[in-house]
A and B are shown apart, each in its own frame.
Chain A
Amino acid sequence: MKILIADDDPVSRHLLEKTLLRAGYDVIAVQNGMAAAEQLCRDDGPRLALLDWEMPELDGPGVCLEVRKKKDQGYVYMILRTSKGLKNGHRYRLKLRCGRLPDQTI
């Protein structure tokens, strides 16, 4: 299974990449949102992504929006990661962009 990691923090990216590789996954690691959206919109792109919320060029919610615009592909599961506390406004905007949102962040 192929998983995409998008994070502009090289420490976090390396940590996640090594952890997932060790668990037996194929990993594509990119450092900005544009590269993430490009990979996820490919027909043979990953169907699971771990996205940093804040990234240069295109942020995590922006990646969600770009991927959801593309209708003719399988569902892409995207997990947004952030060390920031989410306020209601953030959650509402994310729901508008992504369509689905769990009740609680992890």
Chain B
Amino acid sequence: MNFATPAVLNIAELLSRVDNDRELVSELFLIFKSVFPPHLQRLSDAVANEIPKQVESESHILKGMLLNLSAQRTAALAGDLENMGREARIAGMKEALTAFQGEAETLLLQMESVELQP
């Protein structure tokens, strides 16, 4: 990975925040990959069924995880959904979810591509 290129995942910042503990980053990625699908499913269901409160709560949880992983771009999209949920803004929610899903897919691919073994 080229650290100079703006990326969905800012691995340099993440490693810096954990004192270059690659094992810890690897553990965090594993945890995220295991809990992300059910959260995304609940978020998608909430958007499809137009339940703003659930959109807000699921997006908030995802945003927190993503910020901890230095995935600011994806976190910002989760934050957009959180705001839409809080304000019960249904219009545009499906498009926002699509944007979030696309970014999250890229993020998961980038997590796979990062070399974390010493």
Q: Is B102 an interface residue (CB 8 A)?
A: no
Contact of B68 among A11, A22, A54 (CB under 8 A): A11
A73: chain B residues within 8 A (beta carbon): none
Size of chain B's interface in residues, with CB distance under 8 A?
Answer: 18
Size of chain A's interface in residues, with CB distance under 8 A?
Answer: 13
Q: Is A18 an interface residue (CB 8 A)?
A: yes
Give the docked Cα–Cα distance between A83 and B68 (Å): 11
Nearest Cβ on chain A to B52's Cβ, whole angstroms: 16
B35: chain A residues within 8 A (beta carbon): 10-11
Q: Is the CB of B28 within 8 A of A11?
A: yes
Q: Which residue of B lies closest to A8 (CB)?
A: B61
* Known contacts A19-B18, A83-B67; is-contact A14 B28 (Cβ 8 Å): yes
Q: Most chain-B CB neighbours within 10 Å: which of A9, A14, A54? A: A9
Residues on B facing A (Cβ under 8 Å):
18-19, 21, 24, 27-28, 31-32, 35, 57, 60-61, 63-65, 67-69
* Known contacts A9-B65, A10-B31, A83-B67; is-contact A15 B60 (Cβ 8 Å): no
Give the docked Cα–Cα distance between A18 and B69 (Å): 15
A22: chain B residues within 8 A (beta carbon): 19, 21
Q: Is the CB of B24 within 8 A of A12?
A: no
Q: Is the CB of A9 within 8 A of B27?
A: no
Q: Which residue of B lies closest to A82 (CB)?
A: B64
Q: Which 10 A-B pairs rank lowest in CB-CB distance, beginning with the nearest?
A: A11-B65, A9-B64, A10-B31, A11-B68, A12-B68, A18-B24, A11-B31, A83-B64, A11-B32, A9-B65
The 8 A CB mask of A2-44 against B (1 = contact, 0 = none) is 0000001111101100110010000000000000000000000
Give the docked Cα–Cα distance between A10 and B64 (Å): 10
